[in-house]
């Protein structure tokens, strides 16, 4: 463990300073990879998934260093789910047995996702509060649970993933600003705008698929 910590330490070294806060190399590289990933996702390009894995591992280091343990654990889950999502986009099948296509979730599915997020939020918040030294367990837990829902919807090519990401990204802007992760705050503000673009693009694709 000491050897691993020493190996990743250069990634947590400051690259430059913004508003009195250090911006680490891990954050710089993760931002670049994340923007490329979202661009690929909007275009339904499976290259976004390996980019997601690399960005998630870098953000795991960054969030753990910032004591955002829910977000840190989420990045490891993202890396694992990205492997599943990558497979889904390359080999996955839709409900009709055909190749996975961009489609809508439907009213019942939207209710299930919403209720799952509302149920998971307090459970994770209480877990973080009682098992870690997190100073913002409730703020940390909500975007964490929402992101799990968004990642599943993205992997199954549901248009609604972009609306979930829009909500998560807006909330995360406030969270990361409070932690003085300014480059990541800017990234999530851009993510919010890109979520709108992704929703519009995927909605057109869903309409084209009938």
pLDDT at 9: 72
- Cβ 177 vs Cβ 185: under 8 Å: yes
Q: Of 144, 124, 128, 145, whose CA–CA distance to 136 is shortest?
A: 128
Q: At 157, is the secondary structure helix, strand, or coil?
A: coil
Angle, nearest 10°, between helix axes 137-155 and 69-91? 0
For the chain, percent of residues with pLDDT exceeding 70: 93
H or E segment at 78?
helix 69-91
pLDDT in tens, 100-159: 899 999 999 999 999 999 999 999 999 988 887 778 889 888 998 998 899 999 999 999
- Cβ 42 vs Cβ 201: under 8 Å: yes
pLDDT at 206: 93
- Cβ 153 vs Cβ 113: under 8 Å: yes
pLDDT at 4: 47
User: Would you say how long the chain is, in residues?
Assistant: 210
Q: At 178, is the secondary structure helix, strand, or coil?
A: helix
- Cβ 76 vs Cβ 60: under 8 Å: yes
Average pLDDT of the chain is 87
């Amino acid at each position: 463990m000491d050897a691993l910590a020493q190996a990743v330490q250069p990634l947590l070294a400051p690259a430059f300073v913004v508003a009195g806060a250090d911006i680490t190399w891990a954050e710089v590289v993760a931002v670049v990879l994340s923007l490329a990933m979202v661009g690929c996702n909007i275009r339904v390009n499976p290259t976004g998934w390996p980019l997601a894995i690399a960005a998630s591992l870098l953000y795991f280091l960054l969030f753990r260093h910032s004591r955002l343990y829910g977000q840190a654990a989420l990045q490891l889950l993202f890396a694992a789910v990205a492997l599943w999502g990558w497979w889904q986009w390359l080999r996955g099948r839709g409900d009709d047995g055909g190749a996975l296509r961009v489609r809508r979730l439907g009213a019942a599915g939207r209710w299930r996702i919403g209720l799952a997020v509302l149920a998971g939020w307090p459970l994770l918040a209480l877990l973080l509060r009682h098992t870690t030294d997190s100073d913002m367990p409730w703020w940390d837990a909500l975007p964490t649970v929402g992101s799990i829902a968004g990642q599943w919807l993205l992997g199954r090519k549901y248009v609604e993933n972009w609306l979930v990401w829009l909500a998560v990204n807006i909330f995360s802007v406030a969270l990361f600003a409070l932690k003085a992760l300014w480059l990541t705050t800017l990234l999530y503000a851009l993510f919010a705008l890109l979520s709108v673009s992704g929703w519009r693009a995927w909605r057109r694709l869903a309409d084209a698929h009938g």
